[in-house]
């Protein structure tokens, strides 16, 4: 039973904990593990006295423009029809504003378009055709975002699909001489190296996800963040993940801190992860505790059933206004080249960017 005295002490404690986070701020940038270069570029801008949102956007533009990064921007793996569709969101702490785009085709840097939505419109989010027209109105060039490598991976994925009888209209006809899958791929793509074919096959059968989230704090205590992605490979056209959803893939509150996410967006949207984490920080949790609490809510949605949870992974990143930070993943590690490697995240607090291990909820 809650007595009046308990209730009063409870609310007083909550009110005390819910104050603005105080503490000496410092220049610091945190990102998902693919963000070493992004953190370094963002830090240069912070050191030069630049704005925190300018810093993180310039940072993730490196990934967006890199054709070798197949999870973000140009070169991102496409939807099931072979078309690259991008999602991105930004939040600027000092002005307490945000913007986002979803399902944007043909523009390499969706983070810049999300920022324009924030700055130049009375809206928060633009999607699909409207987002593209808006970007073009502001002078962005429409380009084909599908690289040869991504197209190959998509084609191999198409050819890997089978009906219950093992048939696929995109593979050799019934009347063709029998051949092994690899021989078939080699014959179909004669000019392609075995290495590239191995990459395409791996991507086809293990559809990857990938995204970059980047959060920056400067010595004035200002904080901003960005999340940008090509989403889930081979998704249904029009599928939108968590990255452009303010409160899920990204959230920043200038009084408290910021949070972001990479991994299976559907799970994140159901727990409004980034907002949950920032609220947890507001109420006194450390960044690691705040991220683990959001992960617990995801596990709870599956009644903590490890078998079903094992089918995906998701990571959260948090940066508090006093410079405390953490990354945490659902699972302790991911299998890479036959080895279990810990999930990591990128940090730069002034010198070289480095990777640190994520905390985790479940041991693999
Ligand atoms: N969160 C992204 C999405 O669901 C994908 C990822 O980070 O891997 O679209």
- Predicted local distance difference test score (pLDDT) of residue 174: 63
User: Ligand 1 centroid vs 248 CA: distance in angstroms?
Assistant: 11
pLDDT tens digit string along 194-247?
Answer: 888 887 777 777 766 679 999 999 999 999 999 999 999 999 999 999 999 999
Has residue 172 been placed in a domain?
Answer: no
Residue-wise pLDDT tens digits, 105-159? 999 999 999 999 999 999 999 999 999 999 999 999 999 999 999 998 998 888 8
**Cα of 174 from ligand 1 centre, angstroms:** 38
Residue nearest to atom 4 of ligand 1 (CA): 265
Q: The CATH number of the domain where 56 resides is what?
A: 3.60.20.30
Domain containing 345: what range? 23-144+208-362
Q: How many domains does the chain have?
A: 1
pLDDT, residue 19, reads 58
**Tens digit of each residue's pLDDT (9 = 90 or more) over 249-304:** 999 999 999 999 999 999 999 999 999 999 999 999 999 999 999 999 999 999 99
Give, in order, the Cα–Cα distances in Å from 81 to each of 164, 233, 320: 21, 11, 40
> Residue 231 Cα, ligand 1 centroid: separation in angstroms?
5
DSSP 216-278: EE-TTS-EEEEEEE--STTPPTT---STTSBTTTEEEETTTEEEEEEE-HHHHHHHTHHHHHH
Whether residue 165 lies inside any domain: the answer is no
Whether 181 maps to a domain, the answer reads no
Band of residue 189 on the pLDDT scale cut at 50, 70, 90: confident
pLDDT of res. 177: 58
User: How far is ligand 1, taken at its centre, from the CA of residue 241, in Å?
Assistant: 6
Q: Which residues line ligand 1 (CB under 6 A)?
A: 209-211, 229, 231-232, 241-243, 262-265
With a pLDDT cut of 90, the percent of the chain lying above it is 73
Q: Does residue 176 form part of some domain?
A: no
- Alpha-carbon distance of 265 to 248, in angstroms, equals 8
Could you tell me if residue 311 is inside a domain?
Answer: yes
In a domain, 45, yes or no: yes
Terminal-to-terminal C-alpha distance of the chain: 40
> Is the overall model pTM greater than 0.85, yes or no?
yes
Atom of ligand 1 nearest to the CA of 265: 4
pLDDT value of residue 77? 93
Q: How far apart are CA 282 and CA 278, in angstroms?
A: 6
Active site residues: 211
Mutate to test the pocket of ligand 1, among 86, 229, 238, 314 (most ligand atoms within 8 A of CB): 229
**pLDDT tens across 330-352, in order?**
999 887 667 888 999 999 999 99
Number of H helices, E strands in the chain: 12, 15
Atom of ligand 1 nearest to the CA of 210: 8
CA of 211, closest atom in ligand 1: 7
């Amino acid at each position: 039973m809650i007595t009046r005295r308990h209730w009063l002490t409870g609310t007083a404690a909550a009110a005390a904990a819910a104050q603005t986070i105080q503490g000496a701020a410092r220049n610091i940038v945190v990102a998902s593990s693919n963000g070493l270069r992004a953190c370094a570029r963002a830090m240069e801008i912070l050191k030069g006295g630049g704005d925190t949102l300018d810093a993180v956007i310039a940072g993730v533009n490196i990934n967006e423009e890199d054709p070798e990064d197949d999870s973000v921007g140009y070169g991102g793996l496409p939807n099931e029809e072979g078309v690259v569709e991008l999602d991105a969101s930004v939040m600027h702490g000092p002005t307490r504003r945000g913007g986002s785009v979803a399902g944007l085709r043909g523009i390499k840097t969706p983070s810049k378009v999300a920022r324009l939505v924030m700055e130049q419109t009375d809206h928060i989010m633009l999607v699909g055709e409207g987002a593209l027209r808006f970007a073009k109105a502001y002078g962005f060039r429409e380009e084909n975002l599908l690289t040869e490598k991504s197209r190959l991976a998509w084609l191999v994925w198409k050819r890997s699909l089978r009906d219950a009888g093992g048939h696929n209209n995109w593979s050799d006809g019934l009347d063709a001489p029998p051949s092994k899958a690899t021989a078939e791929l080699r014959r179909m793509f004669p000019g392609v190296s075995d290495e590239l074919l191995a990459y395409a096959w791996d991507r086809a059968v293990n559809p990857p996800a990938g995204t970059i989230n980047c959060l920056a704090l400067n010595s004035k205590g200002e904080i901003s963040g960005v999340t940008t992605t090509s989403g889930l490979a081979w998704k249904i056209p029009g599928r939108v993940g968590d990255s452009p959803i303010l409160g899920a893939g990204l959230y920043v509150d200038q009084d408290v801190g910021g949070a972001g996410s990479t991994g299976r967006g559907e799970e994140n949207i159901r727990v409004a992860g980034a907002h949950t984490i920032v609220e947890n920080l507001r109420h006194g949790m450390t960044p690691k505790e705040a991220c683990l609490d959001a992960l617990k809510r995801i596990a709870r949605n599956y009644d903590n059933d490890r078998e079903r949870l094992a089918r995906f992974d998701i990571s959260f990143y948090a940066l508090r206004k006093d410079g405390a930070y953490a990354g945490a993943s659902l699972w302790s590690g991911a299998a890479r080249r036959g080895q279990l490697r810990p999930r990591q995240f990128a940090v730069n607090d002034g010198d070289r960017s480095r990777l640190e291990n994520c905390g985790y909820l479940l041991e693999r």
